[in-house]
Amino acid sequence: MSTRPTQRRDGANQSGNRSGGKSSETKERYVRPDRYDRTRNDRRPEAPPAETARMRGDHLSPALFEHTQRLLGSVLTFTGPADMLVSTYFRANAKLGHRERGVLAETVFAILRRKLEFGQHAGSGSGPLERRLALLGLAFTRGLTSVQLVATPDEVTWLEHVGQIDPASLSTRVRTNLPDWLYERLAKRFDAAELEPLAAALNQPAPLDCRVNLIKGNRDDVLAQLRADGFSAEPTPFAPNGIRLAGKPALQKHPLFISGTIEVQDEGSQLLCQLVAPRRGEMIVDFCAGAGGKTLAIGAQMRSTGRLYAFDVSDKRLAKLKPRLARSGLSNVYPVMIDSENDSKIKRLAGKIDRVLVDAPCSGLGTLRRNPDLKWRQSPQSVAELTQKQTSILASAARLVKPGGRLVYATCSLLNEENSAIAEAFAAAHPDFALVPANELLASQKIALDTGKYLELLPNRHATDGFFAAVFERRAAEKAPKAPKAAPEVTEVTEVAAPEAPEASAE
């Protein structure tokens, strides 16, 4: 994807210990004192000395708690994406173990998800704000036992008091954990009966979804192998090649991942590719390819035939596609770096492409399960800038589509101004494109999902990230009336050169 501030909803940067990820056994929730986990016994070998940044059984050592506060302070500056800041911190503190990194990331991302809620509770405590937030994040995600070695008696009493607060007594604004501007915009789209469940779903970690690479396997066989290897795996409800794994298992070293048989990709992202519905031998463009999650899915649907161009303005994002492409076994993908939506490489393909996917740069507010910092980093001003770019990119990409070809506009936003408003404005300005109902396209593929003329996915309804997609088809050009026959003239014959393809980057 092009200049999207969040990477990646298609799973390119997702890993087994993904920032903020945690298993279904440790869901974030309010916990009353009698529900704090006081029963865990330390049955592990003796922990390292307290001065080291390690877990001591189920307890944080003082040194690890200090790391929690320092990392939280860094992330709350919002000077960059949270996952990037977390990764930078881990590189600077390379001695932190795998388990400790997981605890730190889980705690920090829990606080980002529930920042308004925890901020209100923190007001009744004492001491530095980062310390109060860290204590709340740990108590609400890992139980009060986790802070036994680092909390003072007064802090334990305070945490127990907070645990007794009924969530229903908090205001709706605080319970949703959304900034004012975002709450107001979503309240215009969703009624109260849906807004709160939507916010609650956005404040939970996302599951780990995978896509089976059709070039190398099928879903039934892959499911059987994953289950035999001890994974809790189920078919995704809608995407025909998707698998959902319980918890956050580390897949990087699994043979199915190494061989390219599976790729991490949210089910919603997979469904976008079903709307593209590529056919063998076609010419297709993924206009904002990013790290190539959807590119690889489309290439597999094409059975590695035809030509599939992966355009992006970022060479760094395209570089992340290369190892994934090598694993995939595809030979029909051509990564192409462009300088903008008006690059000359695009002009040379005008009117020649069968299908174009525009997964446009957007606010990423549909991916808050994975990127909770975005709701605090985005603003009305940044959204307004994005809508201008989305309009320009969609208009430019439309020039590529040949008569009878398909154009798919998609975002991972929840805001109408980035979604239906862009689609409707495009349709009004381009009468040569007709809207194709998304529900009909999915029904033709026997996918039992009907969200109307647009694809509109929500985590509380569909257990996916929030996605939007509109599908257009370019009307066939009307045939011009035949001119009367004229006397033959002798003219110079010139050779018509085949259209020059964009220059692909080296693999």
Note the pLDDT of residue 485: 54
User: Contact, 264 vs 210, CB < 8 A?
Assistant: yes
Residues in the annotated binding site:
312, 339, 359
Q: Would you call 115 helix, strand, or coil by DSSP?
A: helix
Q: Is residue 35 part of a domain?
A: no
Q: Indicate whether 393 belongs to any domain.
A: yes
Cα–Cα–Cα angle for 340, 346, 352, nearest 5°? 155
Per-residue model confidence (pLDDT) at position 35: 33
Q: What's the angle, vertex CA 394, arms to CA 389 and CA 399, rounded to 5?
A: 130
Average pLDDT over residues 150-154: 95
Ranges of H-type helices in 94-152: 98-113, 115-122, 129-142
Say what the pLDDT of residue 270 is.
98
Distance CA 110, CA 208 (A): 17
466 and 327 within one domain: yes
The amino acid at residue 149 is L
Residue 57 has pLDDT above 90, yes or no: no
CATH of the domain at 460: 3.40.50.150
In 3D, which of 55, 45, 145 has the Cα closest to residue 97? 55
**What is the pLDDT at residue 247?**
84
Confidence of residue 495 (pLDDT cuts 50, 70, 90): very low
Same domain, 146 and 282: no
Asked if residue 43 belongs to a domain, the reply is no
Q: Which of 170, 200, 222 is the last residue of a domain?
A: 170
CB-based contacts of 69-72 (< 8 A; 24+ apart in sequence): 69/128, 69/130, 69/131, 69/134, 71/104, 71/108, 72/107, 72/108, 72/111, 72/130, 72/133, 72/134, 72/137
Position 469 in a domain: yes
Instruction: Looking at the structure, tell me whether residues 328 and 457 fall in a common domain.
Output: yes
- 162 and 280 together in one domain: no
Does 152 fall in a domain?
A: yes
* Residue 384 CB neighbours (<10 A): 10
pLDDT band at 52 (very low <50, low <70, confident <90, very high): low
DSSP 156: H
Torsion sign across C-alpha atoms 228, 232, 235, 241: negative
The pLDDT, as a whole number, for residue 58 is 80
Task: Give the pLDDT confidence of 384-434 residue by residue, as tens digits.
Answer: 999 999 999 999 999 999 999 999 999 999 999 999 999 999 999 999 999
Last residue of a domain, one of 170, 190, 210: 170
Q: Is 362 in the active site? A: no
Same domain, 415 and 296: yes
Predicted confidence at residue 381, as pLDDT, reads: 98
Per-residue pLDDT, averaged over 239-250, amounts to 92
Average pLDDT over residues 335-351: 92
Q: What mean pLDDT value characterizes the chain?
A: 86
The one catalytic residue in 273, 288, 362, 412 is: 412
Percent of the chain exceeding pLDDT 90 equals 78
Task: Print burial letters for 191-211: b (CB count within 10 Å at least 16), e (below 16).
Answer: eeeebeebbebbbbbbbbbbb
Q: Would you state the pLDDT for residue 484? A: 53
Is 328 a domain residue?
Answer: yes
User: pLDDT: is 357 or 125 the higher one?
Assistant: 357
- Alpha carbons 55 and 103: distance in angstroms, whole number: 9
Helix ranges restricted to H, 77-218:
82-92, 98-113, 115-122, 129-142, 153-163, 172-176, 180-189, 192-202
295 in a domain, yes or no?
A: yes
Highest mean pLDDT among 25-29, 140-144, 341-345: 140-144
Token pair recorded at residue 56: 């001591």
Q: What is the pLDDT of residues 167-201, one digit of tens each?
A: 999 999 999 999 999 999 999 999 989 999 999 99
Query: In this predicted structure, what is the pLDDT of residue 131?
Result: 96
- Helix pair 129-142, 153-163: axis angle to 10 deg: 60
- Residue numbers in the known binding site for S-adenosyl-L-methionine are 312, 339, 359
The answer on 423 and 298 residing in a single domain is: yes
Q: What is the DSSP letter of 467?
A: E
Provide the number of structural domains found in the chain. 2
Q: pLDDT of 364-382, one tens digit each?
A: 999 999 999 999 999 999 9
Alpha-carbon distance of 192 to 251, in angstroms, equals 39
Q: What one-character-per-residue DSSP string does 276-343 give?
A: H---TT-EEEETT-TT-HHHHHHHHHTTT-SEEEEEES-HHHHHHHHHHHHHHT-SSEEEEE-SSTT-
Q: Which domain holds residue 88?
A: 62-170
Q: Over the stretch 436-491, which tens digit does the pLDDT of each residue have? A: 999 999 999 999 999 999 999 999 999 999 999 999 999 987 654 555 555 444 33
**Scanning the structure block, which residue is given the tokens 């944080």?**
60
Let me know whether 342 and 452 are in one domain. yes
Cβ atoms 87, 97 nearer than 8 A = no
Domain annotation covers residue 116: yes
